[in-house]
Amino acid sequence: MSDAIGIGMIGLGTVGTGAVQLLQDAPAAMRRRRHAEFDIRRVAVRDPAKVRDVTLADGVVVGDVQQVLDDPSVQVVVELTGAAPAYEWIRAALQAGKSVVTANKAVIALHGAELFDIALAKGVDLMFEASVAGGIPIIRSLRNGLVANRVESLHGILNGTTNYMLTRMTRGEGDYPEILADAQAEGYAEPDPTADVSGADAASKLAILSRIAFQTTGTAADIYCEGIERIESSDIDFARELGYTIKLLAIARLAPGGVEARVHPVMLPQDSQLANIHAEQNAIKVVGSAVGTQVFTGAGAGKMPTASAVVSDLVELAERKRAGATTSIGDMIVGDEAARFASIEDAEIRYFLRMQVADQPGVLEQIARILSAQHISIASVLQKERDLQGGTVPLVIVTHEARERAMQQAVQAIDALPLVDGGVRLIRMEAA
């Protein structure tokens, strides 16, 4: 065992416990890999006295992160806390010449550039397969399997909580507030659900995927982000009527002005693959210049799927270390100055617009004139008599592809019309 890779862990929560279990009870396929022998030498936790689901040797569990960082027998630090100082811990570990494996998407999305630079300078690796889409090996697939491709686009269902909620709303099981309350009660949503429902979590993951797929340097803050908080059951009903399903998508694609990256609710054709990813499942559709379209689906979170990704990183690290590899992972993920996020304003998108309008002649004409002035072409109109509330009727317009900037101006103009009640609801559409 003296040949084993020394592991130091920070955090022994759900995922950390799962990782220890996988390391202690490795499947035969992993044990066969002679390069993948590990020894868990230090584990820092908040309360070392707490009884755990896993048994570790005496003295391994400590109460102070510094003991992990300072231990010369620790070659790889596994950071699985999600805690606020995670960034400092990861940076300190890299600077101490230790490789790091983490599931912390926020740190990688926000501080990735700096951390990869430190890893490169120190000749160690920073690995984060677990940070996006749990056990789906998407980072690895983009980095290795699709290495000979120029990635053209990437569409992901990257947040299980919102997909679970939208799935239930689509099944007619309730409105947003009650479904959210259910999801919280069942543990699918956090007590403070903001990061999930606002799209921020998906945006962090998209920033990470985009860095690998497109060599972008931007962070989640540079990504247009709109959550599902305003999705109503009636949006879902209208979508269904038109043959669409609403999903929260993270989208990145090569565009003339850079890499278009955005997170928002999307209407997808009901028979598309992504529309049929249900409940807390994740999925990523990648279009590569050589491979064409590929779709990866699986559990995006959870104890063992995430732990599986952590251990897959450890095995890769171990094999690289054993082979005497100097770092190469960093070569690929260091951002490219040329690959910038384009503003969503330049994106060309199809739109679904819904509004309550006065049941009077001339309304549609006024709206059509506004759209036309912005060179937005109407694909279809749905006006119904049902739902007559206070003299207004619902009007639905689906457009052909239009520029986001033009659409924003049109929406502003329509919102200002006295005959339109309560403003325009806008949902973007995607072909798949």
Instruction: List contacts with a copy of itself (CB under 8 A).
Output: 18, 22, 26-30, 32-36, 129, 134-137, 140-141, 144-151, 213, 215, 271, 273, 276, 288-299, 302, 304-305, 307-309, 311-312, 315-316, 319-320, 322-326, 328, 331-332, 334, 336
Cβ atoms of residues 108 and 131 within 8 Å = yes
CA distance linking residue 55 with residue 145, whole number of Å: 37
Shortest CA distance to 368 belongs to which of 360, 377, 359, 358? Answer: 377
247 assigned to active site: no
Q: Which residues contact 124 (CB under 8 A, 6 or more apart)?
A: 94, 97, 98, 99, 100, 327
Residue 35 or 403: which CB sits closer to a copy of itself? 35
* Least Å from the CB of residue 246 to a copy of itself: 19
* 95 or 215: CB nearest a copy of itself: 215
CB of 155: closest distance to a copy of itself in angstroms? 13
For the bound state, the minimum distance from the C-beta of residue 80 to a copy of itself, rounded and expressed in Å, comes to 15
Q: Is 415 left (phi over 0), alpha (psi -120 to 50) or beta?
A: alpha
Out of 205, 247, 285, 384, pick the active-site residue.
205
Start-to-end CA distance of the chain, whole Å, equals 50
- Nearest approach, Cβ of residue 354 and a copy of itself (Å): 28
Locate tokens 């300072």: which residue? 70
CB of 180 to a copy of itself, least distance (A): 25
Both tokens assigned to 226: 């709109």
The amino acid at residue 140 is R
Instruction: Enumerate the H helices of 84-193 as residue ranges.
Output: 86-95, 105-122, 138-140, 160-170, 176-186
In the complex with a copy of itself, the residue whose CB is nearer, 1 or 28, is 28
Tokens of 208: 């990470």
Q: Indicate which residues carry an active-site annotation.
A: 205
